[in-house]
Every structure is written in C-alpha cells, then in structure tokens.
C-alpha cells in the first residue's frame, strides 16, 4: 500500500534502520538508505534490497552529526513522503567520566539530526499532501538508566520534538510519532556488552540476562522486523489519527 511513496531512513545500513527499510520496502515504498560511510557494501545493500522487493532503493551518504549533511540528505533525495529518523550512537560512562565530545556527538546524531531532516522534509510532505515522520526514540526516551546521560537526554528530547512536529502539522495529513524500542540485539547493543561487563564485573551471559533483559519483562530481545512492522502500521490509514505519541515495543519494560 506504500507504492509510489518514498521513505528516507537515516542510519539504515545496519540494525533497526535496515529492518525498518526492509519492512517499508516490503509494503511497496521506494527507499533511501543512509549512513556516514560510502562503502561498496552500502551500495550493494541498496541493490539487493531493491531486487528483493521490486522497489527503487538508493544509498545516499550523509553524516548525521553534521547539520548541513542532514539537510543535504533530504535535498539530494528530492522527495520524502516518509522520514524515519533512526541514526543513533551510544556511550556508557558515569557523568564525571563522560567525555564531553561523546555528549556532543550523541546529542547531534540522536537528537539534532532529526530537527534538521524534519525541517527540510516537512515542506516536501506539505507539497505532496501527505507525510509521516517516525522518530526512533527508545525506552530510554521514557525512563532512565545510570551511565547513559547523553543518550537518555537525547531520547527524552526526541520525544519532545515528536510532539512539537505533530502539533505543527496537526491540521494536515501529516503525522509524527516515536517508536520506543526496548533492547534489540543490534550492533549498538552488542558494543555495550563489554563496557557493561566491566562496569558490573559480570560475564557476557549475565549482562544479557541480568542487566539488559532484566528490564524487559518478556525476557526476550525485540527484533528489527518488529520495529519495521510498527513503522509500516504508522504509515497505514489506521494510524491517520495517531500523532504526537510514542509506541513502546519493549516487552513490557516501561510498564514496570
Ligand atoms: P546500529 O548501531 O545497528 O545502527 C545505527 C545506525 O546509525 C547504523 O546504520 C550506523 O551506520 C548509523 N549511524 C551512526 N552514526 C551515524 C552518523 N553520524 N551518520 C549517519 N548514520 C550514522 O544500532 P541500532 O540498534 O539499529 O540503533 C538504531 C536506532 O535505534 C538508534 O537511534 C538507537 O538509539 C535506537 N534504539 C536501539 C535499541 C536497541 O536495543 N538496539 C533500543 C532502543 C533504541
């Protein structure tokens, strides 16, 4: 049902972004994949996604830590019916030890990039007479954990931006919502395991079971396909009146 629509997914050469791109392509949307790299594999990924789903897929390199490149991504795409602000990084450290440059990078990539892309995409959606902005926040947009100051601040921030975007477009057929994943086993989570092992003096298995999934009452990781399915739902007519809210896909984490 998304035939003829174009979706731009930031940070989509791996993990949740790629999972969302997969499901939007399965629903018929043309896709713009993005990351900060410009590797052969990035372009090959676009080709294979296009072949798999019979849609057009382009890969456009842009570094989401740079405001100009965020804006240029949308301008280069030239059309944006669905914008998924997904690019994100993590750093785990106590506040006194948290490197200032990591704070700045996390705020830039996980929060400010969505402001810049949305600023360019909204006029395109208005011109087209339809649009969806989907911000990938986190359970950490609604709750906190120690040692993740920048990440939690950025994710709470993007939920605020989601509400403002929704209100500014409320009279138009344009919605903006956030998806709040719990733990999904993607590279960003994989990379946290060694730090968490050090911080908690635990084995890998114990970090997964006692630190990560301890917060997730289902006891299971959520999957990238489930994030993609939620994005597809938010693009469907059933979601026309869903705007300015966040949908948790977290195995019950935020119910605790
Ligand atoms: P990931 O590391 O697999 O993916 C992150 C993506 O962002 C990659 O494609 C990477 O290339 C891209 N990226 C990183 N820096 C970038 C930059 N400067 N410019 C452009 N692209 C950049 O991680 P993921 O788990 O798929 O995370 C995707 C989003 O989901 C993030 O916003 C993350 O905070 C959020 N999230 C993840 C989880 C989880 O458990 N995995 C939970 C909640 C929220």
- Domains of the chain listed by start with CATH number: 6-184+223-255 (3.40.50.720)
pLDDT digits (tens, 9 = 90+) for 216-230: 999 999 999 999 999
String of DSSP letters for 115-148: HHHHHHHHHHHHHHT-EEEEEE--GGGTS--TT-
Which of 13, 14, 15, 69 to probe ligand 1 with, by most ligand atoms within 8 A of CB? 15
Q: State the Cα–Cα distance between residues 142 and 213, nearest whole angstrom.
A: 17
Tell me if residue 183 is catalytic: no
- Nearest alpha carbon to residue 62 among 52, 54, 71: 71
What residues flank ligand 1, with Cβ below 6 Å? 11-17, 35-36, 63-65, 86-89, 109-110, 136, 138, 181, 183-184, 186-189
For range 40-60, the mean pLDDT: 98
Q: State the Cα–Cα distance between residues 181 and 213, nearest whole angstrom.
A: 13
pLDDT digits (tens, 9 = 90+) for 159-217: 999 999 999 999 999 999 999 999 999 988 898 899 889 999 999 999 999 988 998 99
Asked if the ipTM is above 0.90, the reply is yes
Q: What is the pLDDT of residue 188?
A: 84
* Start-to-end Cα distance in the chain: 36
Cross-strand bridge partners of residue 142:
none
The pTM of the whole model exceeds 0.90: yes
pLDDT digits (tens, 9 = 90+) for 102-131: 999 999 999 999 999 999 999 999 999 999
Out of 151, 183, 221, 253, which one is annotated catalytic? 151
Kindly give the distance from the C-alpha atom of residue 4 to the centroid of ligand 1, in angstroms, as a whole number.
27
Sheet holding 82-85, edge to edge: 57-61, 30-35, 6-9, 82-85, 131-136, 174-181, 246-249
Which of 17, 34, 222 to probe ligand 1 with, by most ligand atoms within 8 A of CB? 17
């Amino acid at each position: 049902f998304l035939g003829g629509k174009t979706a731009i997914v930031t940070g989509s050469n791996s993990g949740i972004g790629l999972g969302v791109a997969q499901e939007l392509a399965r629903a018929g949307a043309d896709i713009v994949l993005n990351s900060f790299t410009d590797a052969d594999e990035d372009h090959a990924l676009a080709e294979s996604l296009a072949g798999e789903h019979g849609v057009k897929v382009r890969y456009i390199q842009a570094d989401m830590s740079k405001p100009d490149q965020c804006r240029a991504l949308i301008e280069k795409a030239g059309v944006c019916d669905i914008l998924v602000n997904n690019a994100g990084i993590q750093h785990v450290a106590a506040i006194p030890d948290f490197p200032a440059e990591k704070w700045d990078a996390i705020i830039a990539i996980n929060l400010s990039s969505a402001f810049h892309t949305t600023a360019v995409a909204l006029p395109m959606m208005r011109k087209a007479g339809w649009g969806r902005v989907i911000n990938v926040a986190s359970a950490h947009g609604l709750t906190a954990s120690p040692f993740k100051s920048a990440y939690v601040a950025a994710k709470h921030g993007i939920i605020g931006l989601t509400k403002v975007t929704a209100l500014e477009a409320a009279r138009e057929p344009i919605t903006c919502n956030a998806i709040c994943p719990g733990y999904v086993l993607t590279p960003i989570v994989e990379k946290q395991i060694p730090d968490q092992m050090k911080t908690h003096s635990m084995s890998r298995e114990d970090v997964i079971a006692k630190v990560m999934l301890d917060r997730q009452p289902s006891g299971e990781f959520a999957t990238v396909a489930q994030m993609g399915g939620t994005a597809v739902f938010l693009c469907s007519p059933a979601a026309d009146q869903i705007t300015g809210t966040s949908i948790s896909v977290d195995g019950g984490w935020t119910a605790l």
